[in-house]
Amino acid sequence: MYFTSLYSWFWTARTLRTFLVLQLLLVPQCHLHPQPCHLLAQIGHAVRVGALLPAQRDARVQVQAALNRAAARVNFLPYNLSLDLVSRQLAAADPESLIRCACQRVLVEGVSAALAFPQTREELLQVDLLASVLQVPIISVIEDADRAPLGRIWKCNSWNSLQESALSDLLLTVLQRSGWKEGTVVLCRGWEEAGGLLRFLDSQPFASWDGAGPVTWRLQALLNLTQSAHDDTQIHDFLSRHFNQNQPPPASVLLFGADPECAAAVLRSAQDLGLTLPTVHWVLGQPLSPDVLHTIGLPLGLLAYGEVNRKPLDFYIKDALQLITRAVAAASMERPDLALVQNTGSCYHTQEAATSGQYLSRFLANISFSGLTGPVRVDHNCSLVLTQQRFHIWSLRRDPLGQPAWVTVGSWEGGQLSGGRWRPGMPVAGTRVRVVTLVEHPFVFTRDVDADASCPAGQFCLDAETNNSEILEQYFRELAAGNGSSLPLEYKKCCYGYCIDLLEKLAEDLGFDFDLYIVGDGKYGAWKGGRWTGLVGDLLNGLADMAVTSFSINSARSRVIDFTSPFFSTSLGILVRSKDTAAPIGAFMWPLHWSMWVGIFLALHITALFLTLYEWKSPFGMTPHGRNRMRVFSYSSALNLCYAILFGRTVSSKTPKCWTGRFLMNLWAIFCLLVLSSYTANLAAVMVGEKTFEEVSGIHDTKLHHPSHGFRFGTVRESSAEDYMKKSFPEMHEYMRRFNEPTTPDGVATLKTDPPQLDAFIMDKALLDYEVSIDADCKLATVGKPFAIEGYGIGLPQNSPLSSNISEFISRYKSEGYMDLLHDKWYKVVPCGNRVFAVTETLQMGISHFSGLFVLLCVGVSGALLTLAGEHGFYRLVLPHIRRRQNLKYWLHTSQKIHRALNMTYEDVKKQRAEKEKRLVWQDGPAAPDARDFKRVHFSLETLNTRPPPSVAKAPPLSAVTAPPVSTTPSIPAPPQPGELQELQEQIEQMREKLRVALARRAEIQTTLAKPQRGTKKNHCPPQAPPTVPRPGTGVQAPLSFPDSRWKQKNQNTESGRFWITGSGSES
């Protein structure tokens, strides 16, 4: 039992010790102080804070409502103390009412601190005096920003010069950024509130713009208009006298005064006197609210500033109560007797001993926290509660409708000025202008600087890849001070191109220098994420005074910035890449359109038809009715002739004999020559390329509106092309967003990859044409009709008078031809790069180019077989049917073979052949020729091999009909006799003369026999004996034999008119 009790006591003591150690480690130090129970009972477990409500009813109601909302949520007091508000209303807005309310109604309640809400500067000074006498912390919350230059200010004890110094820093920074080191001040009524600010401006130095050291802004003159009436005439005369005496006029004029009517009168007079941009810049020296600024509409370029993003009154009251409760909690941990029990001073006599208010003030100065209004802290002497405030710098410009409008050009927060490039108007000679550009060929090129960081050609430009104004300002200050070596080498570039040449020309003619840099994000500018990006964003934020590049003018950008007149006109285009495809079967027909091929063959057959008609209607044609014609020119002959001329075929063909047919034949030859020449010229150009481009007719093509089969197209992000597509074709823009590229070169590169990542790229045609011209492989081409006509202009801050001046010079450059020179300089390049040197290499054509011809040849062979089958079918089926009809037997004008087949039977042909064989058999000659040889006229001539020797020359020859069979024993040729050759020659001449007479007689007979046949059908001439010719050397008449035994009836058939002449013992 004893050991059990001892063991329990041991563990109980150990647990208690552990609990005490944990309490010491985990409990905050402020809670370690023992509760002053007697003090808490004395103050009633509550901390009281007084509130002096304003006398004005509207302000009092607003403040009372804000106090009630704030007190319910703020409590940082220790010991579970509560916060009680002691609110008392001032009877009147005078010092006596303030003192009576504070001494008799607030302090007697034992308040630790008080809140005051002064409505005027006089009331603020009275509260400051009361806090100093009573030694009670009084925090003044000033609601009216127009009467308190820093907006809502919390006063602890006294009003000092801190707010004037803060405003002077803002104004001096504005003057510094503008390059103004001196100026004139004009005072209107109410300027007294800014008296301290003027002293700071005239005495406080600031860092110079070029980094040369601190510079003081110098006050040239002070014009006091407080005694003048609001008469515009008096103010006009006063300003005219002063500025006429001081030449040249000052670069900047600061206007101070709380009277808006006086300020408006001064600015109107300055406008009438011409004391405005670009000579004089006016600046409102005191902060004003946007509502007051809207009453001032002149002059353009006027600068003003004021607080923005002001928090509600509730936020300031909550942060003020939080400040007091935090200070009371901190003071209670050390001296709760002084922090909780109030020992304030008397309203009627001074007190030398330390009071609780003085003790609490020391803790107020050390309190800082992040409240609803931002970071909150108290200055070192507990005179001012500092909060985070934001000021905007505004410039008066014109809106898109031409009306004056205030535009934000900079902001001030935490002692830093962002933006600050607000100088509008014509640059003063000798000043520097900040110019932003964007790399876009051929308008802007870049290259690395030389070893000594110089640019022998082009202009030095900064490529810091940032849009941070502070970083850019620092870089340019270092460059101006000659410390450019500290910059990274990759930031230094040389810019040249079309737009750089134009910028140099403008700088020379307008008399200004410029600093050039490349836009950080590489964008033209679009509204994205609640702000403008790219070039537009830099102009609006004051980073640049001018934007010079291929800057498209569109409605969205024109609403926020200004553009000069266009210096380059262009439109949007579609860029595609060629496809390397094998030549199809019909590639040989590509040089001519299908309609041309159809026209050629129609013309051929029509020409052949007219040749046949002309030949048959002419008395001299190659027809049976022509003069001395042994052959017939039919439609088949005409087709053969026309095809031969068309394809340059050198074969035997019949030619027309009449003059009309010959003339038409020559015209057809000229036509074929021109067609063949054109075909040959286009053949290599069409077939060698083997490059087919994507067929896109334009922006309205179905491939773009309804993309299928993976058709991909895009443009440059945040460009004018994307803005156009977004507005005009929302569905297309939604589809193409995934394929958009950051820059034009990136988009072109996606077309040239293998396989290509894009099928089409939409961008400014001026940029696409240049990309096509420098493409060494000639794989790119612009297709479709141009659309969305636009122009390139120089971007400027909105409604800047500088735009009209630059526009005037651009118009002058156009009229003088300078813009044409720039175009020729930067666009005059060899099309497709070195394509001209590779033509000879690509002219070699393989079998694939002419595969269609081989196919055509195979088709021709197959067609010939079909034609052969058709001939047999015609001969066996159609021909007997035509032969039975007597009126369709005359086919000589169409085909001689069909005509002979219709008018001769097979037995007639066999009999004719037999008779010819009998007639053509010679005594010792060779075998008779084939009876099918009807092509030529053969003459029966004696040859040296078959002529008998002179000793047997007188023997009668054997008859051709009764001649015995020819001996197969070969005869021995006799040697030539003297004079034999001359004798043979004489015989030949005699036979030729007789043959000519026979042919003439035959023609007369044919003409005589043809006339009766035309009159009546089936009226045949009586049989006649075949014509005879004397046998050479014998005087015996030999028959002139024709293959057709019915010669009298078929004399018109010239095909059967081929004849044989028999002679003595020789065969022809």
Task: Render pLDDT for 640-699 as a digit per residue (tens, 0 to 9).
Answer: 888 888 887 777 778 887 778 888 888 888 888 888 888 887 776 665 555 556 677 788
Tell me the average pLDDT across 98-112.
80
Q: Does residue 831 carry a pLDDT above 80? A: no
Residue 133 has what pLDDT? 76
517 band by pLDDT with thresholds 50, 70 and 90 = very high
833 band by pLDDT with thresholds 50, 70 and 90 = very low
794 band by pLDDT with thresholds 50, 70 and 90 = very high
Give the chain's mean pLDDT: 72
Q: Does residue 518 carry a pLDDT above 50? A: yes
Is 552 annotated as a binding-site member? Answer: yes
Angle between the N-to-C axes of helices 802-816 and 818-827, in degrees from 0 to 180, rounded to the nearest 10:
80
User: Who has greater pLDDT, 175 or 672?
Assistant: 672
Tell me the average pLDDT across 576-596.
74
Residue 498 has what pLDDT? 93
500 band by pLDDT with thresholds 50, 70 and 90 = very high
Tell me the average pLDDT across 85-113.
81
Tell me the average pLDDT across 1010-1030.
50
Neighbour-count burial of 614, counting CB atoms closer than 10 A to its CB (0-12 exposed, 13-18 middle, 19+ buried): buried
Tell me the average pLDDT across 591-606.
86
Q: Does residue 1061 carry a pLDDT above 80? A: no
Residue 897 has what pLDDT? 67
In angstroms, how far is CA 902 from the centroid of its own chain? 76
Closest of 453, 485, 469, 562 to residue 517, by C-alpha = 469
Q: Does residue 944 carry a pLDDT above 90? A: no
3-class state of residue 780 by DSSP: strand
193 band by pLDDT with thresholds 50, 70 and 90 = low
Q: Which two tokens stand for residue 560?
A: 């926020």
Residue 590 has what pLDDT? 76
3-class state of residue 288 by DSSP: coil
Residue 148 has what pLDDT? 38
Percent of the chain surpassing pLDDT 90: 4
What φ, ψ does residue 874 adopt, rounded to 5°? -65, -40
Between CA 129 and CA 619 the distance in angstroms is 140
Between CA 282 and CA 269 the distance in angstroms is 12
Residues paired with 404 in a beta bridge: 398
3-class state of residue 1005 by DSSP: helix
Least confident among 249-253, 521-525, 783-787 = 249-253
Residue 581 has what pLDDT? 58
Residue 163 has what pLDDT? 57
494 band by pLDDT with thresholds 50, 70 and 90 = very high
Residue 795 has what pLDDT? 92
Q: Does residue 267 carry a pLDDT above 60? A: yes
Residue 939 has what pLDDT? 35
Tell me the average pLDDT across 331-351.
68
Q: Does residue 878 carry a pLDDT above 50? A: yes
Least confident among 354-363, 541-550, 984-993 = 354-363
What count of residues does the chain have? 1068
Residue 395 has what pLDDT? 81
Residue 151 has what pLDDT? 32
Residues paired with 515 in a beta bridge: 434
Neighbour-count burial of 96, counting CB atoms closer than 10 A to its CB (0-12 exposed, 13-18 middle, 19+ buried): exposed
DSSP 8-state code for residue 157? S
Amino acid at 276: T
Q: Does residue 817 carry a pLDDT above 50? A: yes
Tell me the average pLDDT across 166-178.
75
Residue 499 has what pLDDT? 93
Nearest-5° angle of CA 495, CA 496, CA 498?
135
Neighbour-count burial of 399, counting CB atoms closer than 10 A to its CB (0-12 exposed, 13-18 middle, 19+ buried): middle
Tell me the average pLDDT across 149-155.
36
Q: Which two tokens stand for residue 149?
A: 């230059």
Q: Does residue 495 carry a pLDDT above 90? A: yes
Highest mean pLDDT among 477-486, 613-622, 991-1000: 991-1000
164 band by pLDDT with thresholds 50, 70 and 90 = low
- In DSSP notation, 365-407 reads TT-EEEETTEEEEE-TTS-EEE---EEEEEEEEE-TTS-EEEE
What φ, ψ does residue 58 adopt, rounded to 5°? -60, -45
Amino acid at 773: S
> 0.75 cut: is pTM over it?
no
Is 557 annotated as a binding-site member? Answer: yes
Residue 1012 has what pLDDT? 59
Q: Which two tokens stand for residue 568?
A: 């380059």
Q: Does residue 809 carry a pLDDT above 80? A: yes
Tell me the average pLDDT across 994-1016.
78
Closest of 953, 928, 901, 923 to residue 1041, by C-alpha = 928
Residue 205 has what pLDDT? 57
Tell me the average pLDDT across 331-344.
71
Q: Does residue 425 carry a pLDDT above 70? A: no
Contact 573, 768 (CB under 8 A): yes
Amino acid at 620: F
Where do we find the tokens 């007051």? 292
User: Who has greater pLDDT, 593 or 12?
Assistant: 593
Highest mean pLDDT among 49-63, 295-309, 325-339, 971-985: 49-63
1017 band by pLDDT with thresholds 50, 70 and 90 = very low
User: Who has greater pLDDT, 34 or 756?
Assistant: 756
Q: Does residue 1025 carry a pLDDT above 60? A: no
Tell me the average pLDDT across 1048-1068.
37
Least confident among 99-108, 626-635, 656-665, 932-941 = 932-941
443 band by pLDDT with thresholds 50, 70 and 90 = very high
pLDDT tens-digit series, residues 294-319? 777 678 778 888 887 777 787 888 88
Is 121 annotated as a binding-site member? Answer: no
Q: Does residue 429 carry a pLDDT above 50? A: no
Where would I find the H helices in 219-259?
232-245
Closest of 170, 415, 110 to residue 303, by C-alpha = 170
Least confident among 51-55, 301-305, 539-543, 915-919 = 915-919
913 band by pLDDT with thresholds 50, 70 and 90 = low
Least confident among 188-192, 394-398, 587-591 = 188-192
Q: Does residue 843 carry a pLDDT above 80? A: no
Tell me the average pLDDT across 523-542.
84
Is 720 annotated as a binding-site member? Answer: yes
1031 band by pLDDT with thresholds 50, 70 and 90 = very low
